[in-house]
Amino acid sequence: MRVMVVDDHPVFRMGMAALLGSLAGVSVVAEAASLPEAVAGAVAGEPEVVVMDLDLGEGAGSGVDATREILRVRPRTAVLVVTMLDDDDSVFASMRAGARGYLLKGAAPEEIERALHAVANGEVILGPAVATRAMAYLTGLVVPGAARGPFPELTARELEVLDLVARGLDNTAISRRLTLSPKTVRNHLSNILTKLQTATRAEAIVRARERGLGTGP
Please tell me the predicted confidence (pLDDT) of residue 149: 61
The model's pLDDT over 130-167, given as tens digits with 9 standing for 90+, comes to 676 556 555 554 444 444 467 888 887 888 899 999 99
> Using one digit for the tens of pLDDT, what is the confidence trace for 60-105?
678 999 999 999 999 999 999 998 887 777 887 888 899 999 998 8
| pLDDT for the residue numbered 55 | 84
pLDDT in tens, 101-117: 999 888 889 999 999 99
Whole-number Å distance between alpha carbons of 38 and 12: 16
DSSP 62: B
Radius of gyration (C-alpha) of the chain in whole angstroms: 18
Please give the mean pLDDT across all residues of the chain. Answer: 86
Chain segment 28-70, per-residue pLDDT in tens? 999 999 999 999 999 999 999 999 998 887 666 789 999 999 9
Are 16 and 62 in contact by the 8 Å Cβ rule? The answer is no
- Per residue in 187-200, pLDDT (tens digit) is 999 999 999 999 89
Give the chain's domains with CATH numbers.
Answer: 2-138 (3.40.50.2300), 156-210 (1.10.10.10)
Cα distance between residue 77 and residue 58, in whole Å: 26
Q: Kindly tell me if the per-residue pLDDT of 15 is higher than 90.
A: yes
